[in-house]
């Protein structure tokens, strides 16, 4: 029973003359999960987007941190179930599936 309470991702691209920084902050709460994406492109004001998902839509969701932990457990057991698929949230903040 893995559950992600909070996750932070940060990407930086150092291009001259406009560095770009993208952050994604995911927080779990009693009603579901909120995803806040911020894009800072050079000196321009940051662009922010927020998405919320209900607990019903997130049933069994596997985020990046939990996915890494699960892969380590499976590697340690030296087993991989066939057709292992989980709901996930992609880098754009959309619901998708993750398969192993």
Whether 53 and 36 have beta carbons less than 8 Å apart is answered as: no
* E strands in the chain: 6-13, 20-29, 32-41, 47-54, 85-89, 95-99
Domain ranges of the chain: 6-99
Mean pLDDT by 10 residues, the chain (100 residues): 80 85 90 90 88 84 77 84 79 77
Token pair of 71, please?
């892969």
* Residue 64 DSSP label: H
Q: What pLDDT is stored for residue 2 in this prediction?
A: 65
- Residues forming beta bridges with residue 40, ordered by sequence position: 21
- Report the pLDDT value the prediction gives residue 47, as an integer from 0 to 100: 93
Q: What is the pLDDT of residue 14?
A: 86
What pLDDT sits at residue 56? 85
């Amino acid at each position: 029973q893995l559950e992600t309470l909070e996750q932070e991702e940060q990407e930086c691209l150092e291009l001259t003359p406009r560095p770009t920084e993208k952050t994604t902050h995911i927080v779990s709460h009693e009603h579901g999960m909120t995803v806040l994406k911020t894009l800072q492109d050079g000196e321009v004001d940051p662009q922010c987007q927020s998405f919320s998902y209900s607990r019903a839509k997130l049933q069994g969701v596997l985020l990046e941190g939990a996915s890494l932990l699960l892969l380590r457990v499976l590697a340690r057991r030296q087993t991989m179930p066939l057709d292992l698929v989980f709901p996930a949230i992609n880098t754009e903040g959309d619901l998708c599936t993750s398969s192993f």
